[in-house]
Structures are given as structure tokens and as C-alpha cells.
Structure 1
Amino acid sequence: MQKYSERKNSAIDKTANPESGNVQPKPRRRRTAVNRGLDENGNGKRKPRRQARRSRSGGFKNTFLLTGIEILGLSVAAVCAVIMLLGYSAGRFSGTSFFGHLLPFTAGVLVLIVAAALFLLGWWKLRQWLRRYSEFLTPALSLSLALLTPWLVTHDQFTLAYGNFRTLVGGKEEAGRMTISHQVYAAYRRHDAAQLQKMVNRAQEYRQAIEDAARSFAVDAHLLHGIAATESSFIPRDSHDGGRGLFQITRVPETVIAQARKRLNVEKISLDDPRHNAFVAAATFKHYLAEMKDDLFLGLLAYNIGPANGGLRFIMQQYGATDFTTIQPYLQTLPRDYPIRVLAYSLAFRLWQQEGRLLAYEEGNNAIRIQRIGIPGLRAGL
């Protein structure tokens, strides 16, 4: 019994003492259900590494999407705010005096920059606070600011500020466009409302033909209505100067006739047919508009002059004119107000289509409303 006890103690000492040189390996730990990736009942399994990577990738995509929505919403709101503030400042401090106009406007721009920096700092702190509760709050708030844009754009004060902003950025070109635009508004205002309404009513008979021609040649249908109103008042006839039909077609390039014939899918054009007349007019206007490099006023003037005296392009080259303003002194007996009359009628047809009636320019807020709708072809509206 004593020998057995000594042998047992000796074995324990050898196992415990690493210096003895006879250290036995530790017994292998038995794998339990938890070690094998199972739950206590042996049912569950550990999530594979590939699935974990997919989970992290999906979380990254969601974060990227939410951040993009947040940036987009803030950008839209910022653009509207800049246009509004700069446009208002440009209208408020318009002038050439340094202390009365230039310096206050410059100070306003500086204040705008500082306000933008403070807003971004405040937004960053608000963003960190909101993300404690949900990562969807900041994108939702940013998107709400962007959704206020349609309401702001339709507001009259924004329309005025946007007009001032266009003048500020557009410079000489925008100033010239605004001058001619107000000539068009004045021409529309001078029209007798009852007579204008009668002409609009007469135009309904030819509306489908004009819209088909405009669509076929990719021109504004309201502009074609304005040309027909100026040429014939929607009373097709043959005139003493050779004009025929609804658009008073005279001599036109042969290529124009070929294009109209192709679009109509006919072998011969009949200018007494209002539909054929409209297609020839649309092709002619498109031809002169391209010749004048998409300058609307010059295109309308070239349509009116036609090939007489070599056409408008020859006249401009002869006198060194470059635009609608510089060509006017050289037109002599030619109707230099033709584009203004066409655009005034075009405006009437646009108002009739969008409002269902002809607005009186001088009543209430109609002036601002009409300017917001804009003149066809001038991209004056929003």
C-alpha cells in the first residue's frame, strides 16, 4: 500500500515538474456543442465568414445610399437659397454707386459665405445627435428641405429673385433678352382682348395640323401658332404679294418642300391644304432657324424676309451685323417688329393652353404670373 502511494506521488511530481524531462501532454479537451458552433441543444450553427462579409457589405451600401440622399437634399436646398439671396441682393442693390450699391452687395455675398459655413457646422452637430436615435433621420430631414423647393419655385418672390439672378449672371446677353421680352409683354398687353379671343377661337380648327407639323419638325407649336396668327390671323387666303394659305407661304427653298413632302408622305404639296401649308411652314422655320444658329429672333426675321434680297444672312454679312439688335438699322422698309408680334401671339396661345383663358397683363399679379410662364422659345420661365 505504501509503495503504491509512493509510485502515485512520484508520477504526479514528474507530471507537474517540467524539469524532470518527463512531462506528459495535457489531455485533449473534449469538444462540446458550443465549441462545435452549436447551441446548447445542438441546433444552432456559427455564422459563416462569407455571410458575415455580405452583412458588412450590405451595411456599407445602405450607409452610402443614405449619405447620398442627404447630400442631394442639402444641395437642392442650397442652390435655391443661393439663387434667392443673390437674386434679392442684386435687385435690392442694383446700381453703379460704390458705397450705395457695389459695397453693400459685396458685403451681402460675404455674409452669405459665413452663413453657409455656420449652417454646415450646425448641420454636422445636428447630424451626430440625430444618428444616436436613427440613421434615417438626417436623410429624411434633408429630403424634406429639398421637397420644399417646388413650393418655393412657384412663389412670386422667387420668380422676381430668379429674374434678377439671371440678369446678374447672364450679363449683356441676358439684359438684351430681358429688353426684348418686355417688348413682347407690352405687345401682348396692347392687344384688344376680344379680338385676340376671336382669333384664338378661329385657330382651333387648325390646331391638330399645326401640332402635327410642330412635332414632326421638332419646333414649338405655340411659335407656329404665333406665325400663323401674324401671317393670316387664321383666315387662309391668297395675298397680293404671293403669299398663300394659312402661313402665307411664298418662295421657299426646294429642300424645304422635299422635307415637307417626305413627312406628309405625299408626291405633291398643295399649299391650299391647311395641313400641307402647316408642314411647309414648320420646315421653312426650322430651315431658317438652323441657318441663324438657333437665334430665335433672327430665325423669325429670316422666315419673314425669305429669299428676297439674298435673304437675311446675306444682309447681315453685307452690313457686318451679328445679332437682332445690330441688324435693325439696316432693315429699312422690312418689318423689324415681326418677331415681337409673333412672340406676343405665341404667348397668348401658351396662356390659353395652360390657363384656359387669356390673362389680362395689368390685373393683380398677372404680370408676374405671365412672366413665370414665359415666352415660347425664350426659356424665360423656370
Structure 2
Amino acid sequence: MDKTVNLSNPESGNNTKPKRKRNRNRNLSMRTGKNKPKRNQPSRLKQKLLLTSIEILGLSITAVLIIIMLLGYSANRFSGTSFFGSLLPFATGVLILIMVASAFLIGWWKLRKRLQLYSEFLPLILSLSFVVLIAWFVTHDQFTLAYGNFRTLVGGKEEAGRMTISHQVYAAYRKHNSAQLQKMLDRSQEYQHAIRDAAKAFNVDAHLLQGIAATESSFIPRDSSDGGRGLFQITRVPKIVMTQAQQKLGTEKISLENSRHNAFVGAATFKHYLAEMKGDLFLALLAYNIGPANGGLRFIMQQYGATDFTTIQPYLQTLPRDYPIRVLSYSLAFRLWQKEGKLLAYEEGNNAIRIQRIGIPGLSTGM
């Protein structure tokens, strides 16, 4: 008898058993969850997206700060109206900056692929290192100067006017007698709590309120010959101002001899004029000083066709014209005193740049 097994026969036992075994193994793997790693793919994708997003953010911050620095430096280096001496070199520099940025992006893409061969975290670490390095540089004086030049470049006429007024404020601060200024700062301590509460209640800068009080009364509350009363020398104010002060204080009667009440009325008055002058700080301070007499500043501007602080100046007396400068020079002193713990002499060392970095309250945020 021929005992040879026909392997081609589908009913042969030697042929069907391995198939059943593979099917059992496949079913077993499905039941035991050997395909579970596929379920982790979404979380893996989220991790990659997060790392890539942080990497892009780091590179973007670095690029923006470098562009500000280079354009600010170029604006200072090539300032002027000469075509060949200023305009053409600046335009050429911008073109070179674009080409360098493009080359950097291409180079980063190639470098990124190589770094990922070692670790997917290396591109992220490198981009964050750039951020730390540029953040360190931002704290230095050279970046402050470049940033100021960049603001002038982009801000145009508006920024040029702001810079002109800012330097008038710095000049006024420099002229203050430091000993007398320190005495006034010491006197102000008695009223700081009331002024800060008033500033918070009406959402205005406390340093600006301190500057107004310093200009109005030198922190010696009194009744003056022109009708001014108390810390902020309150005279006649719009009726809505008194109503707002009463609401914030939670009282039906305002006493201008009460320094806290006086501060709240002063803050409400300044806030009212700031809104009336559509956020223009200098016009708001002028309006505060002039008050509602003769229709107030808004009527004067309409009468002479003035539109801003520069165009209204010829129609003002010397004292009101200088009023915003004096207020802001005192406000700057209060800000320096708070941030530095002392008054800085503008002309000593690099104090001028430090003071400009800190900035004038309400006029600039500084760096």
C-alpha cells in the first residue's frame, strides 16, 4: 500500500492544522490587545504638534526681536533724506535682511532633520536657547536704543511728536532740585493709600494722579485764592464727576477737605477729561488744568480749529502750556522712586537710558 501523503489534498490533516493555528493566534492577538499601540498614535501626534508649535513660537520671537533690532539700528545709521546716503542703503539693508531670513529658514529645515536623528527634542531645545539668548540681549542698553529708533521709524509723525514731548519731560525732570523733590515725595506718603484706591477705582495710572497732586498742591492740601481746594485743588467740576465719585466712595456727600474724597474727585475729573479728549493724555491734562471755565478746552479747540496738543499751544498761556510737562515730570519721579527705590540723576552714568527704558507714566511703557 502506498503510504505517501498527498500534500495537495485540502482535506489532509497536515495541511489544515497549521491554518487553524494561525487563525487561533490571530484571534488571540485581537483579544489580548496586541494592536493597542495603534491607539496611542493620536497622543503621539499631539505631542509632536505641541513640540513643533513651541519650536515655531521660539523661532518667531527670536526673529521678531532681531528684526526690530536690525531695523532700529539701520534707521539710526542711515537716518536722513539723502537718496544715496540714507534711503537707498536702508532699502538695500531691508532686502538683505529678507534674503538672510530666507536662507536661515532653509538652513534651519536641514539642520532640524539632522537633529531629529539624535532626538526629537533637540530642535525645540535649540529654538528655546535662541529665545533665552535674545531675551538676555533685550535687557541691555543697545537694544533699548534700537527699539526707540524702531518706534520712530514705524510711528512716523505721531512717534516723532511723542519723542519731542518725552524729551521735554526728561529735561523738566532733570531741572528739579533733588532735595526739594525728595521732600515732596516724603510728604506724599501720607496720601498714597487714598490715591492708589482712587486710581484703582477709576482705572487710571496712580503715578499720573501723584503727578497731578504734586503739581497742584505739592502734597500740602490747602484752599487757594483761585478757588482750588485740597490735595488736587478741586474747583468747579462737571456734575457727572461728582456723581461718579459719590458712587465709588459709597457716600451721598463729598467733603473736599477730606483727602480721600478729594483724591476720588481728582481721579474722576481726570478720567472724565481723558475720555472727552479721546485718550489724548496731554489734552486731558490741559483740560484738567483749564477746567470748565469758558466752555473748557474742547470749546477753545473748536474756536481755533486746533486738533492736538501741538496746534493748541499758540493759543494758550505759558502756565497751561507747561502744565502737562510738569505733571509728567513729577509722575516720572514717582515711578522711578517706586521701581528703583531712589531718584536717579538723569545725567549720571547710563541713567538716561535706564530712565527712558522705565518710561514716562501714561506716555510710554518703556522697555
Distance 2:210 2:318 in 1: 25
The answer for the alignment partner of 2:110 in structure 1 is 125
Pairing partner for 2:34 from 43, 47, 51: 47
Shift of 1:217: 0.4
The answer for the alignment partner of 1:29 in structure 2 is 17
TM-score (norm 2): 0.94
The answer for the alignment partner of 1:375 in structure 2 is 360
Distance 1:107 1:380 in 2: 32
User: One-letter code of the match for 2:268?
Assistant: A
1:236 and 1:244 in contact (8 A); partners too:
yes
Shift of 1:145: 1.1
Distance 1:138 1:333, change over 3 A: closer
Residue 188 of structure 1 pairs with residue 173 of structure 2: yes
Distance 1:278 1:38, change over 3 A: same
The Cα offsets for residues 13-69 of structure 1, whole Å up to 9 and x where unpaired, read as xx85xxxxxx65454224448952599xx9x94523xx3442111111111111101
Distance 1:326 1:338 in 2: 16
The answer for the alignment partner of 1:169 in structure 2 is 154
1:305 and 1:312 in contact (8 A); partners too:
yes
Task: Give the alignment of 1:89-238 within 5 angstroms.
Answer: 89-238=74-223
The answer for the alignment partner of 2:339 in structure 1 is 354
Distance 1:333 1:364, change over 3 A: closer
Distance 2:134 2:239 in 1: 49
The answer for the alignment partner of 1:20 in structure 2 is none
Pairing partner for 2:241 from 256, 260, 264: 256
Pairing partner for 2:227 from 232, 242, 245: 242
Shift of 1:152: 1.9
User: One-letter code of the match for 1:217?
Assistant: F
1:375 and 1:381 in contact (8 A); partners too:
yes
Shift of 1:117: 1.3
Distance 1:26 1:299 in 2: 102
Task: Give the alignment of 1:290-309 within 5 angstroms.
Answer: 290-309=275-294
Rg larger for: 1
Secondary structure of 1:246's counterpart equals coil
The answer for the alignment partner of 2:310 in structure 1 is 325
The answer for the alignment partner of 1:59 in structure 2 is 44
Shift of 1:208: 0.5
RMSD (Å), alpha carbons: 2.0
Distance 1:237 1:184 in 2: 27
User: One-letter code of the match for 1:267?
Assistant: E
Secondary structure of 1:95's counterpart equals coil
Distance 1:46 1:264, change over 3 A: closer
Shift of 1:334: 5.6
Aligned residues: 363
Distance 1:210 1:374 in 2: 21
Structure 1 portions without partners, runs of 5+: 17-22
Point out the structure with the larger helix share.
2
Residue 266 of structure 1 pairs with residue 255 of structure 2: no
Distance 1:32 1:322, change over 3 A: same
Secondary structure of 1:335's counterpart equals helix
Q: Tell me which moved more, 232-241 or 259-268.
A: 259-268
Distance 1:26 1:190 in 2: 111
Pairing partner for 1:278 from 257, 263, 272: 263
Shift of 1:270: 0.4
Shift of 1:309: 1.1
1:222 and 1:349 in contact (8 A); partners too:
yes
Distance 2:286 2:184 in 1: 23
Residue 85 of structure 1 pairs with residue 74 of structure 2: no
The Cα offsets for residues 138-173 of structure 1, whole Å up to 9 and x where unpaired, read as 011111211234322211000000000000000000
